[in-house]
Amino acid sequence: MRTIFLSLSLTCLLFAGRSAGQAVELTIDAAKPGPMINRHIFGQFAEHLGTGVYDGIWVGRDSKIPNTRGMRNDVVNSLRALKVPNVRWPGGCFADEYHWRNGIGSKRGITLNPTWGGVIEPNTFGTHEFMDFLDQIGSEAFLSINLGSGTVNEAADWIEYMTSRQQTDLAKQRTANGHPAPYKVPFLGIGNESWDCGGNMSPDFYLSQLKMYARFVRNFNPAQQGKDGMLRIAVGPGGTEQGFVDWTETVMKGWKARQWSWDMEGLSLHNYTVINWEKKHSSVDFGEKEYAEILKKTLEINALLDTHIGIMDKYDPEKKIALVVDEWGAWYSPMPGSNPGFLVQQNSQRDAVLAALNLNIFARRADRIRIANIAQMINVLQAMILTDKEKMALTPTYHVFKMYVPFQDATFVPVTFNAGSYTHAGITLPRVDAIAAKGKDGKLWLAVTNLDANRPVEIDLKSVGASVRSAAGETLTAPKVDSINTFDQPNTVTPKPISTQVQGGKLLLNVPARSVTVVAVA
């Protein structure tokens, strides 16, 4: 196969409309491919929380809202376009209070959801409905098992129920409930935030629990053995504080000293973009200062990753254990009038920029970060989709995930650039961020984020070793940093084709202010 050597360089050359001092240098070297950007970093998270599942996904078979076996069609169709690689379910904190037997069969248990609003949990969306939902959107299962208030035996039974091909009592029960074939469970989260809502455990206590669950909760699906085995993901840190450093140290050191009887393949990490947990930023009606503050905060994930990847590298230099960022995103104050336990927030152009910055950071660390799940998929926190009864709106974050589809399982290509700076209200941020990758389609893909709230960025892309012949793509910007999509005006923030000029083997790109742009370069 011919190796394509392609280097794109932003020069200081000015073209029409360009003013001095605004150019940002950028070089892509496709001759030095990096690791694969695992498609699973584009994973989603659907917790039984507020209207994330009930109303957001599940409306029931008898609903007037068009649905397929109870799953709303508008949501399913929108998610299919994102090629969602995996969905983490049923929590979150909810997972540590979830008892799976309530959610199977013809008579469902009526329980409570004490963490999230204290509302009734009807359990009408259970194991079979979740797996049907995954089938409908074309995705895979990331199950979080109950380590907080459940037992090893309960979790082991759940996974046997789902995965055994042999006709055990549990497999027969699955057949009786409509699914004779064993399900696939590629990802298993062993607890959730066990240092907090998952049971406030010490690292040593958690490690003892982890060993038991990792040993006894087995996946029996014949198609998921050996190298195709289920990934067991241990609870990991949620900050840079000493307690979290101790947590990662304990789990990784315990893993390093493991005996044949247990193992794990992933370590979770949670990171929310919040400046003050007691007085969170608003998701609507904010200004440039709050835009800059939140973006600065989100970039602090780099320090968090440095800390914990450093510890992982110490015990696992071969990078066998994946870092799984299975909760990330912006967490704002609840929308006025909403149930505070439902974590309802709007989603603006600020969130589109924030999403791109985080995805870029994960891609740059693709050798270690192989799974990530934005919190959460529908109606909760930094959602892809908002619903209200029969209405639906796609958020700016949805559009970023859609634009980034070509980066799924693409090969990372290093980019160097002079980011420049953007300063507002004493907050200085890089002006530009960018990643590039060789897609599975053979194309070179470039994503450029312009953080500057006001100034467009002019870019020259020069191919070294081969001329750029054409480029095409989309840009997502908005009238204001706090522009949102609503049910009445769902298209305020939508991607538009971006015009590119090819001149003398170089690509000229004018990237709008506060934007995310993805182009394919041929």
- Residue number with the shortest CB distance to ligand AHR? 92
Nearer Cβ to ligand AHR, position 130 or 412? 130
Both tokens assigned to 516: 């995310």
What are residue 415's DSSP bridge partners? 28
- Give me the least distance between CB of 241 and ligand AHR, in Å please: 15
* Residue 50 and residue 342 in contact, taking contact as beta carbons nearer than 8 Å: yes
Q: Give the ranges where 345-474 is alpha helix by DSSP (H).
A: 349-364, 396-403
C-alpha span between 521 and 322 (Å, rounded): 31
Catalytic (active site) residue 290: no
**Closest approach of Cβ 174 to ligand AHR, in Å?**
27
In angstroms, rounded to a whole number, what is the distance separating the alpha carbons of residues 65 and 498?
A: 36
- Spatial separation of the C-alpha atoms in residues 379 and 385, rounded to whole Å: 6
Q: What's the token pair of residue 451? A: 């953080």
3-state secondary structure of 58: strand
Contact residues for ligand AHR (CB under 6 A)?
A: 47, 91-93, 192-193, 197, 327, 375-376, 381
Annotated catalytic residue 327: yes
Residue (192 or 510) nearer to ligand AHR, CB: 192
Secondary structure of residue 121 in the 3-state scheme = strand
**How far is 235 from 95, CA to CA, in rounded Å?**
13
Residue 39 C-beta: closest distance to ligand AHR, Å: 22
**Which is the catalytic residue, given 121, 193, 265, 293?**
193
Catalytic residue selected from 47, 293, 327, 458: 327
* Closer by beta carbon to ligand AHR, 398 or else 412: 398
> Shortest distance, CB of residue 303 to ligand AHR, whole angstroms?
20
d(CA 102, CA 108): 5
Work out how close the CB of 148 gets to ligand AHR at its nearest, in angstroms, rounded to a whole number: 11
Q: What is the dihedral of CA 225, 229, 235, 240, to 10 degrees?
A: 150
Q: For ligand AHR, which is the closer residue by CB, 371 or 437?
A: 371
Cβ 50 vs Cβ 344: under 8 Å: yes
CA gap 248, 235 in Å, rounded: 9
Please identify, using beta-carbon distances, which residue of 137 and 375 lies nearer to ligand AHR.
375
**Nearer residue to ligand AHR within complex by CB, 37 or 294:** 294
Q: Which residue's CB is nearer to ligand AHR, number 42 or number 342?
A: 342
**301-315 vs 349-364: helix crossing angle, rounded to 10:** 20
The tokens 């961020």 sit on which residue? 433
Closest to ligand AHR by CB, 113 vs 127, is 113
Q: Which H, E and C letters describe 422-464, residue by residue? A: EEECCEEEECEEEEEEECCCCCEEEEEEECCCCCCEEEEEECC
Residue 96 Cβ, how far from ligand AHR at the closest point, in Å? 9
Alpha carbon distances (Å) from 231 to 8, 144, 442:
38, 12, 29
- CA 416 from chain centre, in angstroms, equals 25
* Least distance to ligand AHR, CB of residue 392, Å: 21
CB of residue 144 to ligand AHR, shortest distance in Å: 9
Count of CA atoms in the C-beta half-sphere (13 A) of 120: 5
Q: 338: which DSSP letter?
A: S
Element (H, E) at 169: helix 169-176
- Output the six-digit token pair for 286: 């904010």
What is the DSSP secondary structure assignment for residue 50, as one 8-state letter? T
CA separation, residue 280 to residues 168, 343, 358 (Å)? 50, 12, 20
Helix (H) or strand (E) holding 37: strand 36-37
CB of 246 to ligand AHR, least distance (A): 19
Nearer to ligand AHR, 383 or 392 (CB): 383
The structure tokens listed for 423 are: 């300063």
Q: How far apart are CA 279 and CA 257, in angstroms?
A: 43
Instruction: Answer yes or no: are the C-beta atoms of 494 and 484 closer than 8 Å.
Output: no
Q: Computed over its alpha carbons, how large is the radius of gyration of the chain? A: 23
Nearer to ligand AHR, 87 or 436 (CB): 87
> Can you read off the two tokens belonging to residue 162?
């789902």
Active site positions, annotated: 193, 327
